[in-house]
Structure 1
Amino acid sequence: MPQPNPQALEFLLTRRSRPAKTLTLPVPTRDELTPILMAALRTPDHGKLEPWRLMVLERAALARLGDLAGERGAALGLEEDQIAKGRNQFDTGNLAVVVIESPVLSEKVPTVEQTYSAGAVCLALLNAALAAGWGANWLSGWISHDRGFVEQAFGLAPQERVAGIIHIGTEKAAPPERPRPDLESKVTWVSN
């Protein structure tokens, strides 16, 4: 018989990302963040390739990256609101973890499965932070996909990509619950 964990299931059924703009100080210490990071790395990983790595961004690094995002957005000729949105997560953030997809050449595990694994790290990190009592939000945006920015900001190799930037902090305001997908319209049961 299965050994149910009702508390874990209840957490998953009620979990809710917290908007990054509602996250403030304090943020987890390194000791508090360590088990969250460890939980994130217990993600599905076909072939045990570990096709990802994490980069923890503290306040000073976030400030530097906000400036870099502003410079890069201007160089790209982006609209002011796009530039502001790209740099805002760095300007207002206090702690973030960048999940970097770092694919490994493998004859047995296609790259797309490694991409899924990196995405699973993002969700596991988000859920671990929430389960630990912190507010957390998974962001991306143009800054995550612009090669010039990610190579300069995070030192990405040509084959690497940003899977997500997970912001973690203390939630200062709880957002209202939002509508959730309708199970009946998203699930097909196949019996034979």
Structure 2
Amino acid sequence: MANLNHMDKKFKTLDDFLGTHFIYTYDNGWEYEWYAKNDHTVDYRIHGGMVAGRWVKDQEAHINLLTEGIYKIAWTEPTGTDVALDFVPNEHKLNGTIFFPKWVQDHPEITVTFQNEHIDLMHESREKYDTYPKMVVPEFATITYMGDAGQNNEEVIAEAPYEGMTDDIRDGKYFDENYKRINK
């Protein structure tokens, strides 16, 4: 088994951050998996919380180096959900704020899918249901995995989340030494 968990990696530049695959758990218990695919795109899977089971590829995002080793990422989803993440990977933590539209709070099941195949449904739901008041979820999180997947690796987030997936990744049972999925 390849040990791909590089928890001791030191981050300084934007290039150090791009291509990194993270797993983190918010203090409220929600577990997320997130990949800095390149300088303008992120992929992610949600393993715990209100929208567990949701996964997304090729989400356009603003990805910035704030100062050495500290990064800010922000985007708006087709659902109308806004996300702002501040990563401090050298300290294995981040702060995330998720701004859920009222409709996602009321009907989270609509979003629990591979979003890329249901963009029209996300847009329709955003128009059909109430947007306000937004549900604001500000949380600190602990990073439990940092893998150097390289940029534009389509294998990182390539299937729906399953029970135990994040443990498989952390235990070296999901990716081979080239950061390709072992079981397709």
Task: State the TM-score, normalized to the length of structure 2.
Answer: 0.28
Task: State the TM-score, normalized to the length of structure 1.
Answer: 0.27
Compare the two structures and name the one with the higher strand fraction: 2
